[in-house]
Structure 1
Amino acid sequence: MNNDGAAQPRNASNDVRVEERDPIAGGQPQPTTLPATAAETTAERPWPLHLLSEKLKAHLERAPAAWVEGQVIEVNRRSSMCFVTLRDVDAEVSLPLTIRANVLSRLELPLEHGSRVVAQLKPDFWLKTGRLSMQTWQIRQVGLGDLLARIERLRQSLAAEGLFAARLRKPLPLLPHRIGLITGRGSDAMKDVLRNASLRWPAVEFEIREVAVQGVGCVGQVTAALTELDALPTVDVIIITRGGGSLEDLLPFSSEEMVRAVASARTPVVSAIGHEADRPLIDEVADLRASTPTDAAKRVVPDVAEEFQRIRQSRVQLSRAIDTLVSRETERLTHLRSRPVLAQPEGMVSVRVDDVERLRGRARLAVTSAVARDVDRVHHLRTQIRSLSPQNTLDRGYAVVQLKDGSIARDAAETPAGAHLKIRLARGELAATALAASPTSHPKETS
């Protein structure tokens, strides 16, 4: 197959040989070489129309059959054929189908306008008319159970990714100044949100995006409006709301594209789809789920009357707390002033004066006693020293004999004759010379 989708010829040459009748040659067939691919055709070397049709048909016949889903918007029954127009459920795209009677006969319920179906289609190209048709090999109606099962499978898949984790929820602002509102055109849901929010907080402002809230285009329009509002720095919170409806009407709010768009929004998103019993998948990823549009307005903005009442109550409680604190502290000061230490502060000094006098008397007595004891002790020690003093011995008539070098002579035998002696008496000293040593205990000395 070439880049244009046309099939390559099976022969080795890149050209195609065909026969044309030349009127000059008497109408006899003449061989002509044609380009092998569409890219090689020119104004001088064009393809015959039948060759293009044959190549298109050959290419389309190689395409596999595909299962598609859509909504029936037109049914035209004929004897053996049924011509149906199928529209995409999320986009403005439609496709005509050709269904044979034997295929329709296998349906449990008749095919009607608005039915949601899945069909196995195979493209077919008619050579004579150059018309492309979609042959339907199989077709099945999508029932309520199939839709619920499909939503449940998507729910489990997204939950496994962690898209529904509570930690991803963003807190709503305490007092939003501007609210982004995505709702249907002129819908009751929009009126409920605007009316209830304005009644609760008259200063609130809205950035409204009116979109399709069901059917074809709902997913794309809601997602685009959400992206636009999320990019506005002045929008503090976004509400996506619509009234109740059937499962098919609310199905776009369970589409994976819209769920991921809500999950990736940086601005807090409030989901208020349908009634309390309705639970589309965007409720699982929204930062707050409101049961109704009215509930969304009540939970996004505070009630100004309630806030004023809370302010009044807070002021009363604050005033009461201040009065209680002042009274308690006044009583505490009165109690402190009534204590003796504050009533008669000089009494504390008087008591301390008596204590000081008493302690000073005790200290003086202790010092006097200690001095007297020490005087007696010194006198006693002096007496002991005097009794043991050498002077006391001299006073009794003894003398101390010293040699010339100052040493004391203790043995007469050791004192040589003629040695100069110094005799110390009780009072005064004598100089003497040793004449001779005597072995007696009382040697005679001559001065």
Structure 2
Amino acid sequence: MSGKTSPESPLPIRTVLQMVAGWIGKLGTIWVEGQITELTARGGTVFLTLRDPVANVSARVTAPRGVYEATVPRPADGARVVVHVKPDFWVNRGSFAFTALEIRPVGVGELLARLERLRQLLAAEGLFGAERKRRLPFLPGTVGLICGRDSAAERDVLENSRRRWPAVRFKVEQVAVQGPYAVPEVTEALQRLDADKEVDVIIVARGGGSLEDLLPFSDESLVRAVSACRTPVVSAIGHEQDTPLLDLVADLRASTPTDAAKKVVPDVGEQLTLIRQLRDRGRRVVGGWLDRERSWLASVRSRPALADPVREIERRAEQVEALRDRTRRALGGSLDRAEDSLTHLRARLVTLSPAATLERGYAIVQLPSGEVVRQAKGIGAGEVLTIRLTDDRLTVRTEPEQGADPAPAAKPARARKPRKKPEDAVPDALPME
């Protein structure tokens, strides 16, 4: 079209608008979703403004009264709806609008189903994992607070925090906490506070509201922005029963803004009490340990070995002397018994010894071979015999019996002095009876 026009031959505005209307008319019908922000009825037509729930974008929608009244329940201002529309361009006014063919309200059940699907998607990505949760600082130097403008949530957090720790500092970002501007403003404030190195923890606070009012805090872009923060984030949205997705991705969830102040800022009174209790407990523990050690030391010192060490040595010396005397008595008794036994054995040996028999006048006759002569039979004349007496012995030669031929006179053999033996020695043979 630009090639066919020039300053000398421009197109009339009606032609251009008719061409625009033709292009828009070719789009056909589509389903759109949004939030009703303005609703007015004039005659047989209902005029409403359909705003995007996240971005600052809106469009005019006209609906015949029959289409509007056929919707059950009838949508009111602020309701989320899905509309089957046909885009129209009004040539006479040069304006664009949608014509509603059917309106369907988005109920709570549908919203909850959408949130559940989004929750499962983000959970599968690991955004809600416990290992991603960061621990809050014990005493933050500066606390970042994102809240509504002049809201009760802001007052609750500030007043309770300063009541607990008067020296705590805050950087407050006042933003829209519901409506189409909530998500971008909260996200921008979150990024500013996260980039500030003085901020140690960030609180996102909002009071209670309906499910539709809290929908911005379940927006996917905001949830991902919180997960990307390097600073710990505390979610304090609504009341205890409200659970937007921001609660799941935050490092800590607080049931209310007041609860967030209690969890982020420690109570100086409670900390002083805790310090005093710990100090007293430490003193009791150390005192008890010292008392036990003193008791143990006194018990050890009272033992005889340490109380009177010389007495213990004397007692041991007495034991040694007693053992020594007992050993002497035992050894002396053993020697006495052995001596008595030896005396008895000696007396028995003396009694049974052949020497005792010889002392009574008996003698022992032995052949040169040492054999004892027990009878005269078998002893020839002239045999040399040894006669053993008590103290010595004689060597003799036998003579023939009377009446026999005289044998040559035997030369008396020279007696040899026998070797002395002790009295208790056993002789070579018993005396002959």
- Normalising by structure 2, we get a TM-score of 0.66
Taking the aligned partners of 1:343 and 1:294, their CA distance within structure 2 comes to 71
Would you say 1:262 and 2:226 are equivalent positions?
A: yes
Partner of 1:107: 71
Radius of gyration: which is bigger?
2
1:69-108 matches, within 5 Å, as 69-108=33-72
Q: Which residue of the other structure, out of 183, 190, 193, is the alignment partner of 1:226?
A: 190
Taking the aligned partners of 1:284 and 1:59, their CA distance within structure 2 comes to 46
- The answer as to whether partners of 2:75 and 2:81 remain within 8 angstroms in 1 is no
Would you say 1:274 and 2:238 are equivalent positions?
A: yes
Q: Which residue of the other structure, out of 197, 208, 214, is the alignment partner of 1:250?
A: 214
- The answer as to whether partners of 1:193 and 1:293 remain within 8 angstroms in 2 is yes
Partner of 2:200: 236
Partner of 2:84: 120
Taking the aligned partners of 1:220 and 1:98, their CA distance within structure 2 comes to 28
SS at structure 2 position matched to 1:117: strand
Partner of 1:156: 120
Q: Which residue of the other structure, out of 207, 210, 219, is the alignment partner of 2:174?
A: 210
Would you say 1:317 and 2:281 are equivalent positions?
A: yes
Q: In the alignment, residue 213 of structure 2 is paired with which amino acid?
A: D
Taking the aligned partners of 1:312 and 1:129, their CA distance within structure 2 comes to 78
Per-residue CA deviation, residues 271-330 of structure 1 (Å, 9 max, x unaligned), is: 111111111111111111111111111111222111111111121122222223333334
Per-residue CA deviation, residues 86-106 of structure 1 (Å, 9 max, x unaligned), is: 222233332111223453353
Would you say 1:179 and 2:168 are equivalent positions?
A: no
Number of aligned residue pairs: give it: 318
- The answer as to whether partners of 1:341 and 1:347 remain within 8 angstroms in 2 is no
Residues 323 and 56 of structure 1: CA distance in aligned 2, closer, same or farther (over 3 Å): same
- The answer as to whether partners of 2:160 and 2:262 remain within 8 angstroms in 1 is yes
Higher relative contact order (CA 8 A, sep 6+): 2
Taking the aligned partners of 2:203 and 2:47, their CA distance within structure 1 comes to 42
Q: In the alignment, residue 128 of structure 2 is paired with which amino acid?
A: F
- The answer as to whether partners of 2:60 and 2:98 remain within 8 angstroms in 1 is yes
Identity over the aligned pairs, expressed in percent?
49
SS at structure 1 position matched to 2:214: helix
Q: Select between 89-98 and 209-218 the one with higher mean Cα deviation.
A: 89-98
Residues 341 and 60 of structure 1: CA distance in aligned 2, closer, same or farther (over 3 Å): same
1:188-199 matches, within 5 Å, as 188-199=152-163
Partner of 1:329: 293
Partner of 1:363: none
Per-residue CA deviation, residues 93-137 of structure 1 (Å, 9 max, x unaligned), is: 321112234533531233433332121333223445543332223
Unmatched segments (≥5 aa) in structure 1: 1-36, 355-447
- Normalising by structure 1, we get a TM-score of 0.64
Q: In the alignment, residue 200 of structure 2 is paired with which amino acid?
A: D
- The answer as to whether partners of 2:162 and 2:168 remain within 8 angstroms in 1 is yes
- Moved >6 Å (runs of 4+): 345-348
Residues 75 and 304 of structure 1: CA distance in aligned 2, closer, same or farther (over 3 Å): closer
Residues 83 and 319 of structure 1: CA distance in aligned 2, closer, same or farther (over 3 Å): closer
Would you say 1:142 and 2:114 are equivalent positions?
A: no
Taking the aligned partners of 2:3 and 2:202, their CA distance within structure 1 comes to 53
Q: 1:207 Cα deviation (Å)?
A: 1.1
